[in-house]
Structure 1
Amino acid sequence: MNDRIKISKRDFFKKAGAVTAGAVGASTLAMPYVRAQSPIKWRLQTYAGPALAEHVCKPAVDAFNKAANGEMVIEMYTADQLVPQGELFRAVQAGTLDAAQSDDDSAAAPVDVAVFGAYFPFASRYSLDIPTLWEWYGLKEIWQEAYSEVQGVTWLSAGSWDPCNFATTKPIRSVEDLKGLRVYMFPTGGRFMQRFGVVPVSLPYEDVQVAIQTGELDGICWCGITECYTVGWADVTKYYLTNNISGAWAGSFFANTEKWNAVPDHLKQLFQMAMDTSHYYRQHWYWWGEAHYRTTGGKYELTTIPGAEWKTVEDEAQKFWDDIASQSPRCAKVVKILKDYRETMEKAGPPYRYA
């Protein structure tokens, strides 16, 4: 009796082992090892030059590549490295690039709302205004609508950068001092400042510093003081005007639609998180830098146009807004949102707006 029981147990374990081994083999065949597959590879070009890209783009790309764990790899390229900035959007559309980080304005995005990218004059006072406008005042949905009309490119996410100030080789202490200055600027900001005699100049990003040194440019109105120090422009300009024409740059991430649709959902979510991380990093990096370099940088003489005189520039911006609103019903909708937002912030008072 006992021998029969022992034999039965022995047979049972033999049979169980055979079944288990078969199940493991079947499982192995049914689920290929992910690392054995070729990773998805993207080429992303940012509007920023090498020194600036180390802050505004690379940390997020590095974080994504690490978290993707070999399933996807993004190669980052800096301003004009693969295609000129003015051809950036078309390059994504054609599939020459898989993705881009840029403002709509300088990338020549073929949508009516592109004019609001980068520095739409006096649309924002602080960097937090940008995410608030996109996430809570409807600009996100408007951007999605606008880009849904463009084949080949998917708009992904917008965030804020630094304010837009003049850094020049000549001091600016009055509106009159702006006349005749040859300044590197974004397209829409340049169009607006032409009303005050500024001569906007378009150049490849990496040529700007030499152009200032040779006298081809009198300065830049492209960024805030953090970028001036980071990329070396503070070494070739002497004066920094504390009045800005916009409180924050509005920029976005774009992807080639076919390439984006081919990305698995979990990697899309991971990329969204990487973009959000990028937006967050810039919020605190620029907020720190704008105050830090004004107070301890040591390379600039700060100048200021008196408030009452600068108000003439702000008032002119309202006329500029109305001109833009007349370009399309969607532009009119955006301008209406900007006006409502400005009114809300002014009514709310400090810290949202100060008199």
Structure 2
Amino acid sequence: MTTRRKFIKGAALTAPAALAAPALAQSTITWRMQTYAGAALAAEVIDPAIKMFNDIAGDRMQIELFYADQLVPTGELFQAMQRGTIDAVQSDDDSMASPTEVTVFGGYFPFGSRYSLDVPVLFNRYGLNEIWAEEYAAVGVKHISAGAWDPCHFATKDPIRSLADLEGKRVFTFPTAGRFLSQFGVVPVNLPWEDIEVAVQTGELDGIAWSGITEDYTVGWADVTNYFLTNNISGAWIGHFFANMDRWNELPEDLQKLFQVCCEQSHYYRQHWYWGGEADLRVNGTKMELTTIPDEEWAQVENAAQEFWEEIAAESDTKRRVVDIFKKYNADMVKAGRPYRYG
């Protein structure tokens, strides 16, 4: 594994940028952007949006895109962006170790969302956009946009059919999800994204709780895991686009708007790409057997999430504001009934 990791990291540092810009005019604005995603996933979740931006902006501006850990480790993305080493980032708050009060809600906040449409509604209609903008402006970063990505499920080598089966499982997951799941015996493991497939093969990991089934197939994890747990910990990942505030403020207004539009298009694409893929691969996929923890037993996890929310809310006034929004939204969805909530 040590040799494998050194090779991967060395390759990442010497590899050309994923979308290297063509020869540019001297006046062309150039940005460097890094995504949390490795190359296989980035082909779906970020490459098209940056290509679109570059094609439209032309000689006025070009963005050079780098994949997971190519310039800096994912856990250092925020710091690199804040000091201007990287101009823009695609990530969740949790993975990039944001120092803000909202970091714990990035990625997969347990049961904060049930469906992918929950996320844009929470941000655009229930007030989360304003809170994120305040938090990041205070630390010199522009929060550009939030979107819903895939749900969070377990992909494992051995079947998970009860909560007892989670005991002792070494799992690659997000910091907040790991903190929550540890009460059920899960052992969270932090490794570079590109190492995960090999770590499952060598037994360093027993499974992954990082994505839905679409991503498992796309990045190769379905090739090294045997089972997919249909119960999810969250219905959609909360992911974002960010930029260094000084670099953002230097852009002409029309280029700011163009970048925002391309980010929103990326979020929209991901919604239907994931949503359709989750259904199709559950029904037609051949690489993973589906398993399920019975509803009455899984209710213990859902109830524990409510206690976890209160634990988080007690940590600060800002966290209380966010948790109260999640509570209000979820209560509204239950009252709204079908098709918004089934219980």
Q: In structure 1, what is the Cα distance between the partners aligned to 2:315 and 2:102?
A: 10
Contact 2:108 / 2:237 at 8 angstroms: preserved in 1? yes
Residue number among 164, 171, 185 corresponding to 2:159 in the alignment: 171
Residue number among 72, 75, 80 corresponding to 1:91 in the alignment: 80
Q: CA deviation at 1:249?
A: 0.3
Residue number among 303, 316, 321 corresponding to 2:304 in the alignment: 316
Query: Are 2:188 and 1:200 equivalent residues in the alignment?
Result: yes
Q: CA deviation at 1:38?
A: 2.2
Residue number among 46, 50, 67 corresponding to 1:61 in the alignment: 50
Q: How does 1:119-268 map to 2 (within 5 A)?
A: 119-151=108-140, 153-268=141-256
What's the % identity of the aligned pairs? 62
2:94 is aligned to 105
Give TM-score scaled by structure 1 length.
0.89
**Aligned-partner SS, 1:243:** coil
Contact 2:34 / 2:66 at 8 angstroms: preserved in 1? yes
Query: Are 2:328 and 1:345 equivalent residues in the alignment?
Result: no
Q: CA deviation at 1:37?
A: 4.7
Contact 2:143 / 2:242 at 8 angstroms: preserved in 1? yes
Instruction: Between 70-79 and 142-151, report the one with greater CA deviation.
Output: 142-151
**Aligned-partner SS, 2:233:** strand
For 1:46-97, what per-residue CA distance to the aligned partner results, in whole angstroms no more than 9, with x for missing partners? Answer: 0001000011111100000001022100011111111000000000011110
Query: Are 2:48 and 1:79 equivalent residues in the alignment?
Result: no
Q: In structure 2, what is the Cα distance between the partners aligned to 1:69 and 1:210?
A: 40
Gaps of 5+ in 2: 1-23
Q: Which structure: larger Rg?
A: 1
Q: CA RMSD in A?
A: 0.9
For 1:90-118, what per-residue CA distance to the aligned partner results, in whole angstroms no more than 9, with x for missing partners? Answer: 00011110100000011011101110000
Q: In structure 2, what is the Cα distance between the partners aligned to 1:197 and 1:331?
A: 26
Which amino acid letter does the alignment assign opposite residue 104 of structure 1?
D
For 1:222-262, what per-residue CA distance to the aligned partner results, in whole angstroms no more than 9, with x for missing partners? Answer: 00000000000000000000000000000111111111111
Contact 2:108 / 2:236 at 8 angstroms: preserved in 1? yes
1:27 is aligned to none
1:354 is aligned to 342
Q: In structure 2, what is the Cα distance between the partners aligned to 1:350 and 1:84?
A: 43
Q: In structure 2, what is the Cα distance between the partners aligned to 1:194 and 1:231?
A: 26
Q: How does 1:4-23 map to 2 (within 5 A)?
A: none
Q: In structure 2, what is the Cα distance between the partners aligned to 1:182 and 1:62?
A: 37
For 1:175-213, what per-residue CA distance to the aligned partner results, in whole angstroms no more than 9, with x for missing partners? Answer: 111110000000000000001000000000000000000
Q: In structure 2, what is the Cα distance between the partners aligned to 1:281 and 1:258?
A: 29
Query: Are 2:45 and 1:45 equivalent residues in the alignment?
Result: no
Q: CA deviation at 1:147?
A: 1.2
Q: In structure 1, what is the Cα distance between the partners aligned to 2:31 and 2:25?
A: 19
Give TM-score scaled by structure 2 length.
0.92
Which amino acid letter does the alignment assign opposite residue 154 of structure 1?
K
2:272 is aligned to 284
**Aligned-partner SS, 1:74:** strand
Q: In structure 1, what is the Cα distance between the partners aligned to 2:207 and 2:294?
A: 21
Cα 1:173–1:346 change in 2 (3 A) is: same
Contact 2:155 / 2:227 at 8 angstroms: preserved in 1? yes
Q: In structure 2, what is the Cα distance between the partners aligned to 1:82 and 1:149?
A: 25
**Aligned-partner SS, 1:158:** strand
2:316 is aligned to 328
For 1:248-283, what per-residue CA distance to the aligned partner results, in whole angstroms no more than 9, with x for missing partners? Answer: 000111111111111111111100110111011001
Q: In structure 2, what is the Cα distance between the partners aligned to 1:262 and 1:276?
A: 21
Aligned length: 320
Cα 1:53–1:36 change in 2 (3 A) is: closer
